[in-house]
Chain A
Amino acid sequence: MPYFESRLRVNFDDSNEVNSMLNFCEKLNIRNVILEPSNNIKNLSKDRLKIIEHISDINIHYRLNLRPLTLNMYKKDLRKYSKYPCFLSIETSIKEIQIKAAKDSRVHVLSYSEPDNMKTATLGVISLAKQNGTFIEFSLAPIMIANKGSQSRNFRLLYRFTQLLLKIKPNYIISGNFKNPYKLRHPRNLSSICHTLLGMPLNKAKEGFSRNVEALLKQVKSLKNENFFQDGIRLIKEDN
């Protein structure tokens, strides 16, 4: 069963950072990684991606995460980035945008990675996401912090969130979303944490790191146009 680290934020312009993160992944035996640009670049050109792919033998996939502050910003961003050859996630604490994103087929993942966003998750939005086949994402980064008070608060939030997921049974993925390389963990070990500390059945936790991510990538691949290169560039068929 291939395990995925579904969210690894790196600065795509800083090759040292990309190198060190991918080296850590190799040390941890993580074979599949989904990279997200942390430096706000939304221009994932094929040349840039090729350079990153040559750094290591790890299977690399890409994602874009949008954090719209208003409904208009959400519409504008989505129009611009929905054609990129990677999966698109929306991360927001605004309920109206969450509802729109849950219904929208251009949005693949509704992300609840931050504790502040997790608080705003409701039964209605998750149920809507289930109806429309949108994936729900949550991360385990909030529990790997030194402050005991915040850690236990985040455990409580994650516990409530996972119980909500288990009740409604939408499509879901689980990610690490660690910024510090020394906090990175193998997804199999993170599934143990989900099982023992968050009360998820072990097979469900494993699915969140492997089978569900595979299904998501397959779904995205089937929807995306393979001939897309970069914004403003269009392939024109040659006449015979």
Chain B
Amino acid sequence: MKIERQRYILFKIISDNSNIITEKVLLRAIWQSIWKYFGMREANKIGLWLVELNTLKTYGIIRCSHITKEVVISALTMINEISSIHLILSPIKTSGTLNKIKKFLK
């Protein structure tokens, strides 16, 4: 069996009011999107983890399994609003290591 590898996805938050977004609210929105579009079959393979959320610099980093990278990107892309606030979660970079993502941020 192949060993499951991890992928880190850096995403940008584009909104008029991104300060309201908390880790809990964001994770709930991502899980809702995954459930809505992909269901249990994909949801159990994802291994989603919110590594970092910076609402001041408007970015976030999530970790997932390498097999479900495209699923997570799609789920993030399909999110239109959180708590009635229009926003875009736009994935901009994926990497196998957190260091590379941090380097990209600098």
Q: Decide if the interface of chain A is mainly helix, strand, loop or mixed.
A: helix
Which of A182, A184, A202 sits near B70, CB closer than 8 Å?
A202
Assuming the contacts A182-B80, A185-B88, A189-B90, asked whether A196 and B14 have C-beta atoms less than 8 A apart, the reply is: no
Interface presence of B92 (CB below 8 A): yes
> In the complex, what residues of B have CB within 8 A of residue A196's CB?
37-38, 70-71, 74
Interface presence of A49 (CB below 8 A): no
Which of A28, A146, A195, A197 sits near B90, CB closer than 8 Å?
A28
CB-based A-B contact count at 8 angstroms:
49
Tell me the nearest residue of chain B to A195, going by C-beta: B70
Assuming the contacts A192-B77, A193-B77, A196-B74, asked whether A186 and B86 have C-beta atoms less than 8 A apart, the reply is: no
Shortest distance from the beta carbon of A134 to any chain B beta carbon, whole Å: 29
Contact with B along A56-86 (1 / 0, CB 8 A): 0000000000000000000000000000000
Tell me the nearest residue of chain B to A182, going by C-beta: B86
A175 to B20, alpha carbons, bound, how many Å? 32
Contact with A along B65-90 (1 / 0, CB 8 A): 00000110110111010000011101
| B14 lies within 8 A of A28 (CB) | yes
Interface presence of A144 (CB below 8 A): yes
> In the complex, what residues of B have CB within 8 A of residue A24's CB?
14
Interface presence of A183 (CB below 8 A): yes
Shortest distance from the beta carbon of A150 to any chain B beta carbon, whole Å: 14
By the criterion of a CB under 8 Å from any partner CB, how many residues of chain A are at the interface?
Answer: 20
| A185 lies within 8 A of B38 (CB) | no
Q: For the side of the interface on B, what is the size category?
A: 10 to 19
Assuming the contacts A28-B14, A29-B92, A196-B38, asked whether A189 and B73 have C-beta atoms less than 8 A apart, the reply is: yes
A11 to B88, alpha carbons, bound, how many Å? 23
| A193 lies within 8 A of B74 (CB) | yes
> In the complex, what residues of A have CB within 8 A of residue B37's CB?
196-197
Shortest distance from the beta carbon of B18 to any chain A beta carbon, whole Å: 12
A61 to B77, alpha carbons, bound, how many Å? 25
> In the complex, what residues of A have CB within 8 A of residue B74's CB?
189, 192-193, 195-197
> In the complex, what residues of A have CB within 8 A of residue B70's CB?
192, 195-196, 202
Q: Which B residues lie at the A interface, using CB under 8 A?
A: 12, 14, 37-38, 70-71, 73-74, 76-78, 80, 86-88, 90-92
Q: A28-B90, A188-B91 are in contact. List 6 more A-B contacts (CB 8 A).
A: A27-B14, A184-B88, A185-B77, A189-B77, A196-B38, A197-B74
